[in-house]
């Protein structure tokens, strides 16, 4: 047996040497070769935020020596796939890349993002702890500068709430009571839905409850998806789904859009970017919605989670890391950069100084003048959360496990789904060779 | 180079383009997939930063993981059940349509033929989106209609219906192609056979059952093999419907599991192992079936 395998093994070994030779050749090319004074530097920038080319124009006119070209991407997932392919191929990656917080550990693990701690200078004080934690991964390294954040917010139909004498729920108990009252008054109406399609949404709810699904201790990862905080969230939603006062269908389907528009879904636990989505899917109900702080587990010590948000990072293939870091710092901390991000790219800047740039409320909620002060409050109370190197595995496990649980409408299946998620995530990490505890 | 060697080389130079393309785009990727299926990544330390990930030999562990995955067997069984619904229904309807068209009873022959064939020209993703809208209760005009006449329409994407809902899309899209293949075979039958049968007093049904179907049997076998392979590779329909419902998981069919492993979990090694297993199963099933039916397929002239 061994003998017959030899020729094949030889061919495969040759193929292997070729692949390692290809991927190993860029080690020196990626090291920093700073431009000489007076020399013009060209940077490419992959992003999917709208109108980013206009935002960058402001930088280009003010900094003739460092020219940034925006290369528009389809979105977070395809951009990551493209970047990982370019990293594997050894060339083709941009200098600067928009990276969702949840993808940063995955990208760092693939050695796609450069540590710019030296180049960027001290920016820590300009960002909330939760955002800073997401770009440092709790280490000394800096894998990007926070760009925008997605503090969760609650949106509800004021007309329905008024008719039933309800107030915006302060606590999750209030939310459950409101959901019951609304569904009892009209069997077709729901205050929300438990979506097995949106793991980022569930992660945000868990973050609010105090969970942090991954953690680092020395050179060991810990996974705490099935921790008491997340269990509390899963049990809460399982109860509401079993009771039938909350819908169990996924979000972002034609069905859900229609339900928002025709007044079947009268509330949405979403994020600061929610109004843009509502404008698209619930256009008929404009003027009837209002935003509020998320319902709380403990009204005395309010907390929040994130759904969405991204940083701006420098890739390991960039030959001008110092200049790229300079651009990133301008984009996310300079008043002009923040203003352009907020008004032209329509994102909610992560910087603590963003309030000056956010003056008028989003078009869909044009009557709610205090929208951005609620958003600022939501962002301020956001708890820290660490993402791991296999977020995608945990997220796809969420899709399957909670899909089954939501379909069954049995409360006991929700904590069980959480256990499945934990098991799948830990197994995958162990299989890849990570040291994992818990 | 003398004349003899040049003559001997001629066939190879004609074959070369096909062979090169075959090797580059079919054989090489298969070999590469087989190679990948024996590899895996190994992480050192926290797995962050440069040089923390290495590719190492995995032996058959990817195959072991793929075959023992608790989601794998259910997805295979599901595809089996799906095939039991799709293949007989699709071929049955296609044969019936072909016979009806051939019998000349339909005045609207050309129109009917085009109408039945048209869904085949609709890409599976587009078809799935269209049907997805028809399945979702709130946006489905069919639901409005049924509610209008006082019936309670079923939720077609719920657990007990979803397999039929997906099968329906495949039948809708595939019937036309199979119908055309069978119809063409029917048109090739010499008409004197029918005249003789009719003189002997055979009815239309008898002609169809005793003459037409036995003669088009090789075409039926061919369409059966094609449908079998398409069934094993079902992907686009459930993949497109998945975000619309809780009842379709990311590993609903074996190919969806390959997709999830490769592009969602970034584990191309496990995906390669599952792909090799699926390729082998397809090979065994289709060639096993052809062996079983022997010479009746493809070579009706012999």
Sequence-ordered list of residues with C-beta below 8 angstroms from that of B237, at least 6 positions apart, any chain: B124, B127, B128, B166, B169, B170
Integer Cα distance of B25 and B10 in angstroms: 24
The answer for residues whose C-beta is within 8 angstroms of residue B8's C-beta and 6 or more apart is none
Q: Map residue A291 onto helix, strand or coil.
A: strand
Are residues B47 and A431, on separate chains, in Cβ contact within 8 Å? Answer: no
Count of residues making up chain B: 302
Select the residue from B28, B32, B45, B46 to test the A interface by mutation, using most A Cβ atoms within 10 A: B46
Q: Do B250 and A255 touch (CB under 8 A)?
A: no
The ipTM is 0.84
Distance CA A100, CA A114 (A): 15
Residue among A219, A407, A428 whose CB faces B45 most closely: A219
Q: Which of A16, A109, A399 is closest, CB to CB, to B48? A: A109
Return the domain boundaries, chain B.
Answer: 61-296
One fold for A37-150+308-376 and A153-306+384-437 = yes
Among A264, A396, A435, whose Cβ lies nearest the Cβ of B265? Answer: A396
What are the tens digits of pLDDT across the range B25-58?
989 999 999 999 999 888 877 777 666 778 889 8
In whole angstroms, give the CA distance from residue A219 to residue A149.
28
Q: Report the alpha-carbon angle A220-A227-A291, nearest 5.
A: 115
The architecture in CATH of the region A153-306+384-437 reads 3-Layer(aba) Sandwich (3.40)
Please indicate whether, in this complex, the C-beta atoms of B250 and A431 are within 8 angstroms of each other: no
**Tokens (6 digits) for A118:** 């030296």
pLDDT of residue A14: 41
User: What does the block give as tokens for B251?
Assistant: 């590993």
Mutate one of B71, B138, B161, B242 to test the A interface: name it (highest A CB count within 10 A): B138
Chain A positions in Cβ-Cβ contact with residue B38 (cut-off 8 Å):
12
Contact across the interface for A433 and B264, Cβ inside 8 Å: no
DSSP sequence for B114-145: HHHHGGGGS-HHHHHHHHHHHHSTTT-HHHHH
Residue B36 Cα distances to A89, A111, A174, B76, B273, angstroms: 16, 21, 54, 23, 8
Q: Which two tokens stand for residue A166?
A: 């309800």
Question: Inter-chain contact B247–A407, Cβ cutoff 8 Å?
Answer: yes
The domain segmentation of chain A, as residue ranges, is 37-150+308-376, 153-306+384-437
Class of domain B61-296: mainly alpha
Tell me the shortest Cα–Cα distance from B44 to chain A, in angstroms: 7
Residue % of chain B over a pLDDT of 70 = 93
Of B45, B49, B65, the CB nearest to A108: B49
pLDDT in tens, chain A (438 residues): 333 444 444 444 444 333 333 333 333 333 344 445 567 899 999 998 888 888 999 999 999 899 999 998 877 777 888 898 888 788 899 999 999 999 998 888 888 999 998 888 888 888 888 888 889 887 788 999 999 989 999 999 999 999 999 999 999 999 999 999 999 999 999 999 999 999 999 999 999 999 999 988 888 999 999 999 999 999 999 999 999 999 999 998 999 999 999 999 999 999 998 988 898 889 899 999 999 999 999 999 999 999 989 999 999 999 999 999 999 999 999 988 998 888 888 789 988 887 777 878 888 998 899 999 999 899 889 998 889 988 989 998 999 999 999 999 999 999 999 999 999 999 999 988 888 986
Q: Which residues of B touch A254 (CB under 8 A)?
A: 132-133, 136, 138-139, 244
Q: Which residues of B touch A (CB under 8 A)?
A: 32, 35, 38, 40-53, 55, 65, 71, 132-133, 136-139, 158-159, 243-251, 260, 263-267
Beta carbons of B243 and A252 less than 8 Å apart: yes
How far away is chain B from the Cα of A48, in angstroms, using its nearest Cα?
20
pLDDT digits (tens, 9 = 90+) for A349-374: 988 887 777 878 888 998 899 999 99
Q: What is the assigned CATH class of domain A37-150+308-376? A: alpha beta
Check CB contact under 8 Å for B265 and A248: no
CA distance B73 to chain A (A): 16
A390 vs B contacts (CB less than 8 Å)? 265
Strand pairing report for A220-223 and A214-217: antiparallel
8 A C-beta contact, residue B42 and residue A432: yes
Single pTM value for the model: 0.85
Residues of chain B contacting A112 with CB distance shorter than 8 Å: none
User: Which structure tokens are listed for B136?
Assistant: 């979702």
Measured CA to CA, the distance from residue A80 to residue A106 in angstroms comes to: 9
């Amino acid at each position: 047996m061994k003998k017959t395998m030899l020729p094949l093994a030889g061919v495969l070994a040759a193929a292997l040497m070729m692949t390692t030779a290809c991927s190993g050749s860029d080690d020196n090319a990626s090291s920093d070769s700073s431009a000489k004074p007076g020399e013009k530097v060209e940077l490419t920038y992959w992003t999917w935020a709208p109108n980013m080319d206009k935002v960058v124009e402001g930088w280009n006119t003010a900094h003739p020596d460092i020219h940034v070209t925006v290369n528009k991407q389809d979105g977070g997932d395809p951009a990551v796939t493209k970047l990982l392919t370019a990293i594997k191929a050894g060339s083709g990656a941009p200098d600067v890349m928009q990276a969702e917080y949840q993808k940063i550990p995955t990208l760092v693990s693939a050695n796609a993002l450069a540590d710019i701690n030296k180049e960027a200078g001290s920016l820590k004080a300009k960002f909330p702890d939760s955002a800073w934690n997401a770009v440092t991964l709790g280490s000394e390294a800096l894998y990007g500068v926070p760009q925008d954040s997605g503090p969760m917010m609650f949106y509800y139909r004021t007309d329905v709430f008024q008719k039933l004498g309800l107030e915006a729920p302060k606590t999750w108990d209030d939310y459950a009571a409101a959901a019951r009252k609304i569904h009892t008054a009209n069997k077709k109406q729901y205050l929300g839905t438990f979506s097995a399609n949106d793991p980022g949404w569930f992660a945000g709810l868990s973050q609010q409850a105090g969970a942090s699904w991954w953690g680092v201790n020395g050179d060991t990862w810990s996974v705490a998806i099935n921790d008491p905080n997340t269990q509390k969230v899963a049990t809460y939603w399982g109860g509401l789904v079993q009771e039938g006062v909350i819908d169990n269908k996924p979000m972002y389907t034609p069905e859900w859009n229609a339900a928002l528009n025709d007044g079947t879904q009268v509330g949405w636990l979403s994020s600061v970017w929610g109004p843009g989505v509502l404008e698209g899917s619930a256009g008929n109900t404009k003027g009837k919605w209002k935003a509020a702080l998320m319902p709380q587990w403990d009204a005395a010590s309010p907390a929040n989670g994130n759904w969405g948000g991204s940083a701006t990072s420098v890739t390991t293939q960039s030959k001008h890391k110092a200049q790229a870091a300079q651009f990133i710092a301008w984009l996310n901390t300079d008043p002009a950069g923040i203003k352009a991000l907020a008004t032209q790219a329509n994102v909610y800047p992560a910087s603590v100084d963003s309030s000056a740039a956010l003056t008028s409320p989003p078009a869909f909620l044009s009557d709610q003048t205090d929208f951005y002060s609620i958003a600022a409050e939501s962002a301020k109370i956001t708890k820290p959360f660490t993402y791991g190197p296999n977020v995608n595995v945990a997220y796809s496990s969420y899709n399957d496990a909670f899909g089954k649980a939501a379909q069954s409408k049995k409360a006991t299946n929700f904590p069980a789904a959480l256990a499945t998620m934990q098991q799948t995530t830990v197994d995958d990490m162990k299989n890849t060779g990570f040291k994992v505890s818990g | 180079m003398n004349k003899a060697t040049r003559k001997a080389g001629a066939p190879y130079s004609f074959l070369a383009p096909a062979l090169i393309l075959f090797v580059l785009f079919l054989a090489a990727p298969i070999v590469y997939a087989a190679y990948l299926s024996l590899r895996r990544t190994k992480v050192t330390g926290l797995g962050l930063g440069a040089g923390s990930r290495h590719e190492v030999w995995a032996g058959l562990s990817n195959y072991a993981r793929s075959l023992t995955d608790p989601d794998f067997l259910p997805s295979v069984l599901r595809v089996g059940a799906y095939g039991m619904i799709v293949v007989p229904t699709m071929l049955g309807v296609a044969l019936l349509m072909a016979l009806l068209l051939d019998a000349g009873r339909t005045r609207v022959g050309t129109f009917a033929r085009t109408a039945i064939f048209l869904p085949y020209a609709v890409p599976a993703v587009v078809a799935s989106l269209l049907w997805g809208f028809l399945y979702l209760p709130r946006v489905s005009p069919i639901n409005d209609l049924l509610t209008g006449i006082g019936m309670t329409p079923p939720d077609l994407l719920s657990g007990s219906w979803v397999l039929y809902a997906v099968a329906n899309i495949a039948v809708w899209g595939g019937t036309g192609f199979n119908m055309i293949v069978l119809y063409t075979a029917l048109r090739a039958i010499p008409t004197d056979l029918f005249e003789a049968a009719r003189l002997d007093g055979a009815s239309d049904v008898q002609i169809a059952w005793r003459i037409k179907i036995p003669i088009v049997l090789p075409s039926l076998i061919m369409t059966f093999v094609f449908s079998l392979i398409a069934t094993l590779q079902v992907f686009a329909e459930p993949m497109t419907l998945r975000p619309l419902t809780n009842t379709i998981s990311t590993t609903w069919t074996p190919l969806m599991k390959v997709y999830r492993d490769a592009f969602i979990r970034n584990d191309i090694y496990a995906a390669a192992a599952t792909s090799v297993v699926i390729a082998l199963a397809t090979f065994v099933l289709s060639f096993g079936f052809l062996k079983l039916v022997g010479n009746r397929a493809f070579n009706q002239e012999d």
